[in-house]
Structure 1
Amino acid sequence: MESLHHYLRKAQQFDEVVLKAQKLSNQICHGNQTSIYKGQGNLFEEVRKYQYGDDVRTINWGITAKLRQTYVKTYNKEKGQTIWLVIDVSKSGIFGTRERTKIDTIKELSVVLALISLKNNCSVGALVFSDKIELIHQPSTSFSSFSKLLYPLLSFSSSRHKTDFAPALDYLISRSSSGALVFIISDFISSDYQEKVKILAQKHDLIGIRVYDRTELAFPKLSYMNLVDTESNQKIFVDTSSQSFKAGYEKWLNCHLDYFYNTFTSLGHQSLDVATDEDYVEKLKKLLKKS
């Protein structure tokens, strides 16, 4: 019975995330020109006789007047570019002091971006990684194809502690066609990805999305605490109220932040910060409007 309850709870959580992602993607796409996607739009195909149900806005009035029969213009959607989602599911993502953990937010953002990309007629692929590639979904314009990744992605729990960008980035460097738009979604608690990102940037457009918990920006002064480094699985006993701890933590944090921002801005690519408790709709709209 417990296993059935666990399954039903997982299924409920899956439905909740997908429904929320659909709602958010609709909000972002509604009335929004997502110009960041290359190749979007419609291509004129032909003129044909009006059929019941055709949009009156497509009527070609010149030919209609000349032939005295109603004709409409038809269009084919222009093929969008390839989108790759590079999704970090390593153990550092399980941290969270709000309603959602970092990994919850990373997964939700990934689904939202996938839905937006599919609505822009793009081909969407995904690489899920920790310190190795965990899941691969080859690019496809079909939502039914991408939906096969949804449950494995949203229910995925990595047993790997460390983060290593190299396997996922090496895969794209060596095995993907040029000209894709790559979203790298992670907490970026690492400092060994810059060179790989530089190489990848030679063939793709990149956007780094850093997900964080607000507690990480200012660690609470709670006196002595047992902390666990989720990347190394080491336990440490610290006085969080001490000045030395505060100074050391701020130095560590700023080092990672500077590394992240410098990696993407130095290459002329965009980056975005998203907090686990943040309503990121307007922020994502602004990002996707940029060309």
Structure 2
Amino acid sequence: MIPREVMQNIRRIQINTSHVVDDLLAGSWHSAFKGRGIEFEEVRPYQVGDDIRTIDWNVTARAGEPFVKLFHEEREMSVMLLVDLSASQDFGTNHQTKRQLITELGATLAFSAIKNNDKVGLTLFTDQIEKALPPRKGTRHVLRLIRELLYCAPIGRGTDIRAALDHLGRTASRRSVVFLVSDFQDEGFERTLRVTRRKHDVVPIMVSDRHETELPNVGMIRLRDPESGRQVSIDTSSRRHRLRFAERMQARIAATEAMFRRMKMEPIRIVTGEDYVEPLQRFFHRREAKA
């Protein structure tokens, strides 16, 4: 039996995100992802007026007469949430950790999917696959997703985006919309991401906290990388040290954004303590305009 406190937290997330879906994202989901493709249905003999581009030449050759392929529009789609639960997600300085922000965002995307009668699945990863729930419909399924986002205790601490994408490739048999949610403190996954994009519609969501690139002036401090455990001392009273830190972190972010641009991908950027709905709305509206 699920403890009462757990159910209360799940219910709170459900109420907050359902409001966002109903009042702010209504209609945007379907408009953003309409025209997402067609599926093969059957072949039949060619009829006058059929588009010759639909002729199935293999069947035609075997039958000795022309046959055409028939397709139907996909009425539903599968949505996959690939969520990074590495140790760096527990960081947050603006009334919210990155993991708390990810949980609300994931719930919003999941409720948006089922409201549009789509299936939604979840893969939680660190430097290994922590939990994988296949795509399904229904509120009960989404509540389970929220529970895992809230309470999954990851074994790993690092980040391996390539392994998460490889796992998706092995388990997702049909084309899906994939929201890849991470702070992208990883490298070496560009080639795998390119391969994944050939089959799936991948939407990167970059999660950050402003103090990851902006040190406060508080004197000598000791920083510890939550994923590697490596520690370093920095004198934050030195403007030069603060600028060097900011430049280094901004360079890492810029490299990730440049990789997305090379692949013509448009990431959604969200920041702890700030509204995540507006970036989602802007993304949906841009997608709708391109559809």
Superposition TM-score, scaled by structure 2 size: 0.78
Q: Which residue of 2 aligns with 1:150?
A: 146
**Can you list the C-alpha shifts for 1:81-113, whole angstroms capped at 9, x where unaligned?**
211110011100111111110011011111110
Give how far 1:8 is off: 4.7
Q: Which residue of 2 aligns with 1:238?
A: 234
- Does the C-alpha gap of structure 1 residues 10 and 98 become closer, same or farther in structure 2, counting only changes over 3 Å? farther
* Inter-partner Cα distance in structure 1 for 2:84 and 2:144: 19
**Can you list the C-alpha shifts for 1:43-74, whole angstroms capped at 9, x where unaligned?**
xxxxxxxxxxxxxxxxxxxxxxxxxxxxxxxx
Alignment partner of 1:79 is 2:75: yes
* Inter-partner Cα distance in structure 2 for 1:215 and 1:269: 26
Q: Which residue of 1 aligns with 2:64?
A: none
Q: Which residue of 2 aligns with 1:284?
A: 280
**Ranges in structure 2 where 5+ consecutive residues have no aligned partner:** 37-72
Give how far 1:9 is off: 4.2
User: Is the CA contact 2:14–2:143 (under 8 Å) kept in the aligned structure 1?
Assistant: no
**Can you list the C-alpha shifts for 1:176-212, whole angstroms capped at 9, x where unaligned?**
2343111001111222322221111111111111111
User: Is the CA contact 1:89–1:129 (under 8 Å) kept in the aligned structure 2?
Assistant: yes
* Greater shift in the superposed pair: 237-246 or 201-210: 237-246
CA RMSD of aligned residues (A): 2.2
SS of 1:29's partner is: coil
User: Is the CA contact 1:87–1:107 (under 8 Å) kept in the aligned structure 2?
Assistant: no
Q: 1:125 aligns with which of 110, 121, 124?
A: 121
Q: Which residue of 2 aligns with 1:135?
A: 131
Q: Which residue of 2 aligns with 1:100?
A: 96
* Inter-partner Cα distance in structure 2 for 1:175 and 1:31: 29
* Greater shift in the superposed pair: 154-163 or 113-122: 154-163
**Ranges in structure 1 where 5+ consecutive residues have no aligned partner:** 1-6, 41-76
What is the percent sequence identity of the aligned residues? 28
> What is the letter of the counterpart of residue 127 of structure 2?
D
> What is the letter of the counterpart of residue 251 of structure 1?
E
Superposition TM-score, scaled by structure 1 size: 0.78
* Inter-partner Cα distance in structure 2 for 1:31 and 1:116: 9
- Does the C-alpha gap of structure 1 residues 157 and 252 become closer, same or farther in structure 2, counting only changes over 3 Å? farther
> What is the letter of the counterpart of residue 31 of structure 2?
S
User: Is the CA contact 1:39–1:80 (under 8 Å) kept in the aligned structure 2?
Assistant: no
> What is the letter of the counterpart of residue 259 of structure 1?
A
Give how far 1:18 is off: 2.1
Q: Which residue of 2 aligns with 1:206?
A: 202
Q: Which residue of 1 aligns with 2:183?
A: 187
Between Structure 1 and Structure 2, how many residues are aligned? 249
> What is the letter of the counterpart of residue 184 of structure 1?
L
Q: Which residue of 2 aligns with 1:177?
A: 173
User: Is the CA contact 2:207–2:271 (under 8 Å) kept in the aligned structure 1?
Assistant: yes
* Greater shift in the superposed pair: 271-280 or 136-145: 136-145
Q: Which residue of 1 aligns with 2:54?
A: none
Give how far 1:175 is off: 2.9
* Inter-partner Cα distance in structure 2 for 1:143 and 1:10: 17
Alignment partner of 1:21 is 2:17: yes
User: Is the CA contact 1:21–1:111 (under 8 Å) kept in the aligned structure 2?
Assistant: yes
Q: Which residue of 1 aligns with 2:158?
A: 162
SS of 1:202's partner is: helix
SS of 1:209's partner is: strand
Alignment partner of 1:248 is 2:244: yes
